[in-house]
Amino acid sequence: MVQRQLPRPAELFELMRFKTPEFDGTKRRLDAALTIDDLRAIAKRRTPKAAFDYTDGAAEGEISIARARQAFRDVEFHPGILAPAPELDTSTEILGGRSALPFGIAPTGFTRLMQTEGETAGAGAAAAAGIPFTLSTLGTTTIEDVKAVATRDAADGFPARTWFQLYVMRDREISYGLTRRAAEAGYDTLMFTVDTPVAGARLRDKRNGFSIPPQLTLGTILNAIPRPWWWIDFLTTPKLEFASLSTTGGTVGQLIDAAMDPTIGYDDLAVIRDLWPGKLLVKGVQTVEDAVRLTDTHGVDGIVLSNHGGRQLDRAPIPFHLLPQVRAAVGDDVTVMLDTGIMNGADIVAAVALGADFALIGRAYLYGLMAGGRRGVDRTIAILRTEIERTMRLLGVSSLAELEPGHVTQLTRLVPVAPQLRAAVR
């Protein structure tokens, strides 16, 4: 029989320890977010449907982004035992400079649409965390302002790293001018993007009647009622427009198709290589053959395996699945980065183990931005840092250099009927 007794008041008081209430609503929401998915849920509640869907959505049936995320979920880790890792080093050398973590912020367009702080929130948070920030050609903050914010907020021991993502325009002089301007502002890396000759079919945007800038309709007004803070910010801050381009107005597809040139080729890459004094990456590589040609023949400093977050060609290759083949083909001396589908720090650890030098986050950063502005981006980085550190400790490694392919198995759901090789474009 269990002996029962009346509870003693002193014991009751020990159990009655109430937390001090947090009156800052943004801090309370962000502190409660333990994962990137939590930040996404907050972002969805606080952002109008059209703006959220523009960020969250992808092309056509959104198969590519679903497959990319599933590929990371299908990772099996192989931890070492009796391998304590009391001191962790998550820093890495990338493109001639240091990064405190093995990831940076990817280029995103129309960023002030998601939350009015836009690129300044991303650049400041990245600099404070000691990681690179990439500004898009379609950014809504100027090249110079982003550099100023990053320089101001740079962490001790980690000088601000700012990279610029370049699209090749129909009017080549616009692209050349942006290249020179980024170099003059002190950007150290140019990210030449090759996967957007025309706009992908982003059906959520079409169904929402989404345009830049957003238009007030009966639907948007009704959707704004439970989200007045977003519209107050939008209507009381500077006009939402491109900071580096003069063309604004229309659907996203119309803007991209009007500005981009589907005829870009290797000659354009050669011109930009001659213009750009720093490191040069090509973003949007999706085959082993193209990876080899770029690094063997065209003098680039690195490549980014990416299908544009699934926003261009649906059913495109999964960058994470492609990674081991590309690393084996280009060798150890080529910088290989990866994006698309990253929602957890463990995804980044798996990518590094299989040969990636670095990863880029896009939507994960924007979910934090929509959830809480600059503080939300800080929270995104903090969540990913915690997940990276915990995964490394559980694997029994003390540094990124100790990660190797034996730590990871890619469990495959999609198996080709027969291997297919595409002839390189000459």
* Burial readout 265-288 (b: 16 or more C-beta within 10 A, e: otherwise): eeebbeebeebbebbbbbbbbbbb
Q: What's the pLDDT tens digit per position in 295-306?
A: 988 889 999 999
From 78, 298, 308, 321, active-site residue: 308
The pLDDT of residue 336 is 98
CA distances from 315 to 198, 283, 309, 364 (A): 16, 18, 11, 21
Rounded mean pLDDT of 226-243? 84
The pLDDT of residue 349 is 98
Of all residues in the chain, what percent carry a pLDDT higher than 90? 70
Q: What's the pLDDT tens digit per position in 7-47?
A: 888 877 777 777 788 888 899 999 999 999 999 999 999 99
Average pLDDT taken over every residue of the chain? 91
SS (H, E, C) 104-118: EECCCCCHHHHCCCH
Q: What's the pLDDT tens digit per position in 251-286?
A: 666 677 777 788 889 999 999 999 999 999 999 999
The pLDDT of residue 249 is 55
Q: Shortest CA distance to 59 belongs to which of 306, 309, 257, 304? A: 309
Whether residue 426 is predicted with pLDDT greater than 80 in this model: the reply is no
The phi-psi region of residue 26 (left if phi > 0; otherwise alpha if psi is between -120 and 50; otherwise beta) is alpha
The pLDDT of residue 262 is 84
Known active-site residue 407: no
Q: Shortest CA distance to 166 belongs to which of 58, 293, 278? A: 278
Q: Is residue 153 part of a domain?
A: yes
Report the C-alpha gap between 358 and 168 in whole angstroms. Answer: 24
pTM of the model: 0.91
Rounded mean pLDDT of 308-328? 96
Q: Is residue 382 part of a domain?
A: yes
Whether residue 244 is predicted with pLDDT greater than 80 in this model: the reply is no
Q: Is residue 421 part of a domain?
A: no
CATH of the domain at 167: 3.20.20.70
CA angle 254, 259, 264 (to 5 degrees): 125
- Place 241 in a pLDDT band, splitting at 50, 70 and 90: confident
- Tokens standing for 42? 């907050």
Report the C-alpha gap between 260 and 61 in whole angstroms. Answer: 24
> Which residue segment(s) compose the domain that 78 sits in?
37-410
Q: Is residue 20 part of a domain?
A: no
Q: Is residue 258 part of a domain?
A: yes
**Number of domains the chain contains:** 1
Beta carbons of 71 and 341 less than 8 angstroms apart: yes
Whether residue 250 is predicted with pLDDT greater than 50 in this model: the reply is yes
* Burial readout 364-397 (b: 16 or more C-beta within 10 A, e: otherwise): bbbbbbbbbbbbbbbbbbebbbebbbebbbebbb
Sign of CA dihedral 53, 55, 57, 59: positive
Rounded mean pLDDT of 214-239? 78
Helix (H, G, I), strand (E, B) or coil at 17: coil
Q: Is residue 105 part of a domain?
A: yes
Q: Is residue 396 part of a domain?
A: yes
Q: Shortest CA distance to 260 belongs to which of 278, 280, 277, 284? A: 284
Q: What's the pLDDT tens digit per position in 93-139?
A: 999 999 999 999 999 998 999 999 999 999 999 999 999 999 999 99
Rg from Cα positions in the chain: 23
The pLDDT of residue 319 is 97
Q: Is residue 25 part of a domain?
A: no
Whether residue 425 is predicted with pLDDT greater than 50 in this model: the reply is no
Report the C-alpha gap between 61 and 53 in whole angstroms. Answer: 14
The pLDDT of residue 180 is 97
What's the DSSP call for residue 65?
A: H
Whether residue 323 is predicted with pLDDT greater than 70 in this model: the reply is yes
The pLDDT of residue 260 is 77
Largest Cα–Cα distance in the chain? 88
